[in-house]
Structure 1
Amino acid sequence: MRILYILFFLFVFSSSPLQAQTKPVGRDSSSVNKGKLLPIIATESALYLGSMSYLQFIWYKDSERVPFQFYNDNAGYLQIDKFGHMFGSYLESYTGYHLLRGAGVKKKHALLYGATLGIVLQTPIEVFDGMYEGWGFSWGDMIANTAGSALVIGQELLFDEQIAKMKFSFWQSPYAKQANGYLGNTFLQSLFYDYNGHTYWLSVPMNKFMLKNKLPDWASISLGYSANGMFGEFENKTYYRGVDIPQTARERQFILSLDVDWTKIKTNSRVLNKVLKGMFFIKLPFPALEITSGGKLKGHLLYF
């Protein structure tokens, strides 16, 4: 559900994320562009109301209402789910902040009303989870959601820019074909169900901490987190729909790779510049080094 919600958010803002950014984001403008601001407010309001309606009338329609309950899923999926919450919140807060700044909203107001968007949009989901059978309010999810927005707000306050950008990459894992549909039958289904194929990155331009003025501003280095061998939330299933599932060891993966900061690439095309700014969350496949929680070290010619 989390990835579905994020994809929906991207679809809604696909025509405008960061495209209103006609002035340097780090400077306070003297006036607000109402022609840009009003559509942003209308879109964010529609997204919020639409998501609340979807949760109440579609997502939970077959679930029984119960007294408010909690659910401790902090150990689930080796914390991949928590990184997903943090990434979703970061994405929403980053986009909300830059849209408001591009419309001329002062920084302190853009931080208050835009950079908190991740928490504003994600919190109702957690509350609804606590109200329906089979779900539960997760403090771990709330902490991750808060961390995503805090990453945007903290960097803007400290550095006046997003030096470290949170990114996402996915490739269908070999486990999907062994799970008899439990991890999805197609690439798109696996995007939602196959957490083994998720990798979450923190990407930083190398000029910010080493090799200053020696490399292009867009040249970056990324630290990624992923996990493998998962056929269940807390422990692996042994069969699914009457078919045995191979037993595997669950392990974490830490990846070091090169990357590109799309927002630092400048071209002579206004349209292309907007497209590149909207790709800020995408990790480009590059060679990578991986070390697992079991101590195994391996290299990848290209890591997705």
Structure 2
Amino acid sequence: MPFPSGLSKLLFFVFISASSFSQSKINQFLTPSDSLNSSRKTTVYITEAAVLGTTLIGLNQLWYKDYDKSKFHFINDNEEWLQMDKMGHMYSSYHLGRMGAEALEWSGASKKEQLIYGSTIGLGFLTVVEVFDGYSSEWGASSGDIIANVSGTALYVSQELLWKEQRITPKFSYHKTNFPSLRPNTLGETALEQVLKDYNGQNYWLSFNIYSFTKLEFVPKWLNLAIGYGGSGMLFGTKDDAFTNGYIQNEYRQFYLSFDVDLTKIETNSHFLKTVFSIFNTIKIPAPTLQLNSNKDFRAYGFFF
């Protein structure tokens, strides 16, 4: 069974989180709290601990138990997949931490508690997973993964400390490619597997809220400018791996500039919509886009995702 990417771990964690709440608890979370509520805060702490434990047990059962154990060790995978997997780790760490902090904000916890105990939940979760990797003979702990995990948490915390708001949001988008048909076991057989495994179709973005930086009154508060990164031409982690397996891999990097929307900046009195906007603000919306490849190829798209 292929090892889960950073994005896979995020989705697995979110699935377990959703499964841990009854419908009544979900409805409660749609109503914000402006003052400390001890019952709510206790619920959040217990739920986060339960979700973390359940998710780690699930990962162990699904991905690790069938592989031999070894002494703790590191591997150097920093040159693989044009670092797309590292982007996934940064993205996952940021949004897991954001969800943890927002849950504590709902409970009425102080900003200090939100940053210490909430925003670090992604870093804590992914660090334990890295330890699992280190004791697995099939893989190994990755210094690059750890750096990416720390970077995602730092991006959230630094913005809260500096601006008391999130002006820069990591986002994800995906477009289908033909590469999985050439190596389906690694790049995915089904559509969902391809979203999670095909690095050729994945793009990671840093979405900047224009109004938050400029304070220009004529700029819509929800309008963002996004800088994206992706890669293509990858069947194996590196060119050397491809050559060893009889392939010539012409991989290249892709850089993007596009417009985006910060859904959390759309004004609404509906607590339900606010929750929906917060969840889907992890995804980059399709928009006109400029692309520059590392092979100096320039393209413009009227509609790109």
TM-score exceeds 0.5: yes
Q: CA deviation at 1:211?
A: 7.1
Gap change, CA 1:168 and 1:19, over 3 Å in 2: farther
Equivalent position of 1:267 in the other structure: 268
**Aligned-partner Cα distance in 2 for 1:224–1:192:** 18
Give the 3 Å change call, closer, same or farther, for CA 13–66 of structure 1 in structure 2.
closer
What's 1:145 paired with? 149
Q: Residues 50-199 of structure 1 correspond to what in structure 2 (within 5 A)?
A: 50-199=54-203
Distance 2:217 2:17 in 1: 34
Shift of 1:165: 0.6
Indicate the percent of aligned positions where both proteins have the same amino acid: 36
User: Corresponding residue for 2:296?
Assistant: 295
Displacement of 1:79 in angstroms is: 0.5
**Aligned 8 A contact 2:167 2:213 in 1:** no
- SS of structure 2 residue aligned to 1:249: coil
State how far apart, in whole Å, the 1-side matches of 2:276 and 2:32 are: 14
Is the contact made by 2:209 and 2:223 (CA closer than 8 Å) also made in structure 1? yes
Instruction: Report how far residue 173 of structure 1 moved.
Output: 1.6
| Distance in 2, Cα, partners of 1:197 & 1:204 | 22
Instruction: Give secondary structure in 1 for the equivalent of 2:242.
Output: coil
Q: In structure 2, which of residues 232, 235, 242 is the aligned counterpart of residue 237 of structure 1?
A: 242
Cα distance in structure 1, aligned partners of 2:30 and 2:106: 5
Conservation of the 8 A alpha-carbon contact between 2:13 and 2:55: no
Separation (CA, whole Å) in 2 of partners of 1:171 and 1:18: 36
Secondary structure at 2:75 match in 1: coil
Q: Distance in 1 between matches of 2:184 and 2:53?
A: 37
Say whether the 8 Å CA contact 2:130–2:142 is kept in structure 1: yes
Q: 1:20, 1:36 within 8 Å by CA — same for their partners in 2? A: no
Describe the shift of the 1:215–1:12 C-alpha distance in structure 2 as closer, same or farther (beyond 3 A): farther
* Cα distance per residue 1:37-57 (max 9 Å; x no partner): 233222211221112222333
Counterpart in the other structure of 1:282: 283
In structure 2, the CA distance between the partners of 1:18 and 1:133, relative to structure 1 (3 Å rule), is farther
TM-score for both structures, normalised by structure 1: 0.89
User: Please, what is the CA RMSD of the aligned residues?
Assistant: 2.3
Q: CA deviation at 1:86?
A: 0.4
2:218 corresponds in structure 1 to 214
Q: Structure 1's 281 and 170: CA in aligned 2 closer, same or farther, altered over 3 A?
A: same
Distance 2:213 2:53 in 1: 42
Q: Deviation per CA, 1:149-199, whole angstroms, max 9, x where unpaired? A: 000110000000111011111122222233355422221111222111111
The answer for the alignment partner of 1:26 in structure 2 is none
| 1:233 counterpart SS class | coil
Report the secondary structure of 2:227's partner residue: strand
**Measured at CA, do residues 180 and 275 of structure 1 come closer, stay the same or move farther in structure 2, by a change above 3 Å?**
closer
Letter in 1 for 2:120: T
Q: Deviations over 1:240-275 (max 9, x none)?
A: 8xxx86x45100101000000000001343322321
Matched letter for residue 54 of structure 1: G
Q: Which SS does the other structure have where 1:258 is aligned?
A: strand
Mean CA deviation greater in 92-101 or 167-176: 167-176
The match for 1:22 is 32
Q: Which residue of structure 1 aligns with residue 46 of structure 2?
A: 42
CA distance in structure 2 between the aligned counterparts of 1:18 and 1:89, rounded to whole angstroms:
25
Other structure's SS at 1:108 match: helix
Taking the aligned partners of 2:300 and 2:91, their CA distance within structure 1 comes to: 25
CA 1:47/1:224 → structure 2, altered by over 3 Å: closer, same or farther? same
Shifted more, 250-259 versus 186-195: the winner is 186-195
Gap runs ≥5 in structure 1: 24-28
In the alignment, is the contact (CA less than 8 A) between 1:251 and 1:292 conserved in 2?
yes
Alpha-carbon distance between aligned partners in 2 of 1:156 and 1:21, rounded to the nearest angstrom:
22
Cα distance in 2 for partners of 1:101, 1:259 equals: 26
Q: Distance in 1 between matches of 2:171 and 2:99?
A: 13
